[in-house]
Structure 1
Amino acid sequence: MASFLDFEKPIADLQGRIDELRETAADGTVDIDAEIAKLQAKSDKALRDTYARLTPWQKTQVARHGERPHFKHYVAGLFDDFTVLAGDRAFGDDQAIVGGFAQFRGTRVMVIGHEKGDDTASRLRHNFGMGKPEGYRKAIRLMQLADRFGLPVLTLVDTSGAFPGVQAEERGQAEAIARSTEMCLSLGVPMIAAVVGEGGSGGAIALAAGNKVLMFEHAVYSVISPEGCASILWRTADKAPDAAEAMKVTAQDLKGLGVIDTIVPEPLGGAHRDPALAIASLGDALQDALGGMGNMGPAELRRDRRAKFLAMGRL
């Protein structure tokens, strides 16, 4: 069962009562099926009503939920013959960004994405999905390979931002992010990016400057975290809900602004409640986006990408 977020307390209370009743009826001496069904219907309605009116800050919490599917789950559920390619051929291998060749529904592709990890050991190993310069330089290398072999590039974005440590800055973090973004924009093959959780700052755009940008219904995408924005503007992270509202971080806001192209629906209550359904939904959206670019040549793909991003700055 998914763990509950703070704003889901009424739903958690109802689910707790249901679980208690089921334990009471486990010995078969008491028939309380009708009461359980009544409470379950009430819980389902509360869940629908809650998720129909989430605030931007609540969507941020959903996007960060630890039980949402991660890169490895999408790879297992959507791709065949995934072959990991490691290292940037300059410094080392950054496991916050993972990528390689794969088959996607009969099409050979290059898939790259952020991996946050799903337990303490894997989160430390993958640095919570915060890429270092060698991670973005690895992404550049893989995109160059895809361009050379004429393979579409699919990226899965889920990061709070690039790693901000001193070592990363010493190794050229800003330059690596800029070069990765430039590589995305210069590809002569289709590139589709999907924001599946958090799309944080340059750490996200470095893998998301594609022809089509998809975004899960409850994902967030912004130039800085709400807490970071609040700390700058109000000198306190307590104002993060206000910052999230003002920053227009939700898929619905960004679709209206032309920053993303498609909102991918999530299962009721978020991707963490039914990961398999969420993965299948993303797969269908990726297939639709990829099919729409099948007849475009390199020059047309570059023009399409250029026009898309230039249009964002026009009034």
Structure 2
Amino acid sequence: MSSTEKTAQIQALETQLTQLSSAPHTPEQDAEIRKLQVRVRELQQEILGATNGGGEMTPMDRVRLARHPERPYALDFIHLLFTDFHELHGDRRFADDPAIVCGFARFEGEPIFIVGQQKANYKQRKMEDRKYRNFGMPKPEGYRKAIRLMQMAAKFRRPIVSFIDTPGAYPGIEAEERGQGEAIARNIIEMMRLASPTIGIIIGEGGSGGALAVGACDRILMLENTIYSVISPEGCASILWRDASQADKAAAAMKITPEPLKEAGIVDEIVPEPGEGAHTDHAAAAELLKPYLAKQLEALRGLPPEKLMEQRYARYCRLGAFVVED
């Protein structure tokens, strides 16, 4: 089977997985989901193995690596990079959202605050663990929890580190009923006003407003095999060409990988990954990230709140490009 045929099969399997995952599950359906996930992983490894031996990776290859089920998630990095992590819960309005973890910790002995989007339980990646974390898709209470605690951290001038890894905010009816759009918009507004340094690190998928709601930061880092986009390649292809199988073409056109994003000034630094990707060695991935995080914290720590907010506002005003026609 050629790489193109394998890619088409992966896309078909991922569509089937999405349909199965969005509906209530029976034990038989859970078993089918696990079987499909195993097959997707096998095909991904076959394609990546061929790519690594035969030339440059395509943007869609990077998308698949960003989604790799064995990539380190936020809690993996938290336990590998920080000490004394103490998780806090709840938005004080509705509930606690397991798709977002927040807490205080120490980085190289210095106090810090952490926000992380989490796709599965720590060291547990079975289907029930992914369902518990809602596959990393936060609900409004998750974003409200995050901003409540970021504001608490800012009162004490604690630097804030945000681990971004979501396909997007949860689009379910109950999330819309509880104000998903307002929660995302409110987070972006309030993050602009935080008096503490903020650093966003894209460790997997940085999907749309779901990512930006915890990623409107002073600095943005991206791991080497991650993506940051307003929509998924499959979603873009469905809109532009009415055909999700054109995702490879969309991924190339969207410029969602680290290099073009850095060139555009959206991302500040690209963090290398070990081996064939961060999924091959979590500890090594964390070790590679550590000096980049330390460097950015050192650069931002000495700035007064007024200067931080001024630079942050200017940063986001510079993003994007437009043409004025006569």
131, 138, 150: which is aligned to 1:143?
A: 150
Determine whether 1:229 maps to 2:236. Answer: yes
Shift of 1:264: 0.4
170, 182, 195: which is aligned to 1:188?
A: 195
Question: Could you tell me the TM-score, scaled by structure 1's length?
Answer: 0.85
Structure 2 spans left out of the alignment, 5+ residues: 1-39
- 2:95 paired residue number: 92
The 5-angstrom pairing of residues 202-213 of structure 1 reads: 202-213=209-220
- 1:303 paired residue number: 310
Counterpart-to-counterpart distance in 2, 1:293 and 1:11:
38
The 5-angstrom pairing of residues 71-150 of structure 1 reads: 71-117=74-120, 118-150=125-157
Shift of 1:4: 5.6
Q: In structure 2, do the counterparts of structure 1 residues 138 and 245 end up closer, same or farther at CA, with 3 Å as the change threshold?
A: same
The 5-angstrom pairing of residues 7-46 of structure 1 reads: 8-9=45-46
- Structure with max Cα Rg: 1
Runs of 4+ with deviation above 6 angstroms = none
Secondary structure of the corresponding residue to residue 112 of structure 1: strand
- 1:265 paired residue number: 272
How many residues get paired?
279
Determine whether 1:58 maps to 2:67. Answer: no
- 2:281 paired residue number: 274
Shift of 1:75: 1.1
Q: Deviations over 1:122-167 (max 9, x none)?
A: 1011000000000000001011101111100000000000000010
Question: Could you tell me the TM-score, scaled by structure 2's length?
Answer: 0.82
Amino-acid identity (%): 47
Conservation of the 8 A alpha-carbon contact between 2:44 and 2:64: no
Shift of 1:6: 3.3
Q: Deviations over 1:251-302 (max 9, x none)?
A: 0110011110000001120100111110111222111110111210000000
Conservation of the 8 A alpha-carbon contact between 1:48 and 1:268: no
State the Cα RMSD in Å: 1.6
Structure 1 spans left out of the alignment, 5+ residues: 13-45
Shift of 1:93: 0.3
Conservation of the 8 A alpha-carbon contact between 2:51 and 2:57: no
Shift of 1:8: 4.4
Secondary structure of the corresponding residue to residue 292 of structure 1: helix
Q: Deviations over 1:225-259 (max 9, x none)?
A: 11111111111211111111111000011001111
- 1:287 paired residue number: 294
Counterpart-to-counterpart distance in 2, 1:297 and 1:49:
49
Counterpart-to-counterpart distance in 1, 2:92 and 2:44:
46
Counterpart-to-counterpart distance in 2, 1:10 and 1:198:
20
Q: In structure 2, do the counterparts of structure 1 residues 229 and 11 end up closer, same or farther at CA, with 3 Å as the change threshold?
A: closer
